[in-house]
Amino acid sequence: MSTPAPRSPSHGWRIGSLAGTPVYLGRSWPLIAVLVVVVFGPNLAGADRGPTYGYLLAGGYAVLLLVSVLVHEAAHALAAQWRGHPVSRIVADVWGGHTVYDATRSSPGTTALVAVVGPLSNLLLAALVWGVRALTTNETALTLLGIVAFANLLVGLFNLLPGLPLDGGQIVSALVWRATGSRGRGLVAAGWLGRVVALLTVGWFAVRPLLEGRAPEIFDIVWPVAIAFFLWQGATAAVRAGHIHEVTSGLATEVLEPVVLVAGSTSVSDVEGAVSQGVHVAAADSAGWPLGLVDAESAVRVPAEARGRTAVASVTIAQPAAWVIALAGDAALTDLIRVMSERDLSQAVVIDEATRDVRGLATAERINAVVGAELGRRGRR
């Protein structure tokens, strides 16, 4: 193969695995750790122990908070695996964390189950930590365990609020999906509720002090606004995804461009006709697995007298194994978009899930054009 494909962006530092699923510490996570130490350190410092004690205690809380996040995401991952969905990765990042799994064949029941176990694990962890706290008399342990128990209780309850991108929003989306038979409508409904939750979050934390007759502190404003911004972004993305799902349910095949699959040992002269006409040509290994696309410019630069003895493998841009996507014949375009997004792909060879035959080449450029045109036609841009 010639030029290697661009590497996928890093998900962070790999810190382990769970049932075969890689677990990453996102590069944004240290921001949370620093914020926790800076904000809580001074408040945890005792009058007789000094600031160092407070910052160390806050550091311990940051570590236990990471454990809580990983427990939450592990619950999602294990539930998805139990329901037969491959899990790609677990990532702890600045907004808590996320679990990426293949939900192509998911159902409303599975979606709700995978969503609810996350916050339930936090509520269970809060109860366990509080129980351990009752067994100790050490002042430092009492303080730290109390904070961790309260944080897990808050995270568990907050995640159950009925709006995307929270887990409670996934449950609402699944319920609407089950009731209407439309996954898109579920996403739209839960997305709009997510926007309401975002506004209420700001109102509760930032406006409430004013109603109580006191001036809000900077923390009362900055942190809720940051959370609300994250919620609003996720909710807006869900609404758009819902509209896309509604208008593109039958467009999965329309975005696929023809692709000719040939053995890597095939000569450039054998495919130059197809390449000159702009047809995509993919080189395959001896087992028939697509390895990459023939680069038209490189093929043209091969001297005419050498094309008969030059293998297409030498002018092929290699792609990762994950660029081959198996989809069912009735899969929606959103299934293809989601898989390409999860795998960080700008192009992919799509094969039939049942027959393993090549169906075509999907590119981000073509998908964006088709989706944009359809949304514009229906007035949903």
pLDDT of residue 367: 87
pLDDT of residue 37: 85
pLDDT in tens, 312-340: 999 999 999 889 998 877 777 878 888 88
CATH architecture of the region 259-377: Roll (3.10)
Instruction: Please report which confidence band the pLDDT of residue 379 belongs to, taking 50, 70 and 90 as the band edges.
Output: low
Residue 311 has what DSSP assignment? B
* Separation CA 86–CA 244 (nearest Å): 24
Average pLDDT value for the chain: 86
pLDDT of residue 157: 95
Cβ within 8 Å of residue 216, ≥6 positions away: 206, 209, 210
Instruction: Please report which confidence band the pLDDT of residue 182 belongs to, taking 50, 70 and 90 as the band edges.
Output: confident
* Separation CA 116–CA 108 (nearest Å): 12
pLDDT at 5 over 50: no
- Rounded to two decimals, the pTM is 0.75
pLDDT in tens, 361-378: 999 998 888 877 777 776
pLDDT in tens, 235-270: 999 998 888 887 776 666 678 899 999 999 999 999
Compute the average pLDDT of residues 207-214.
75
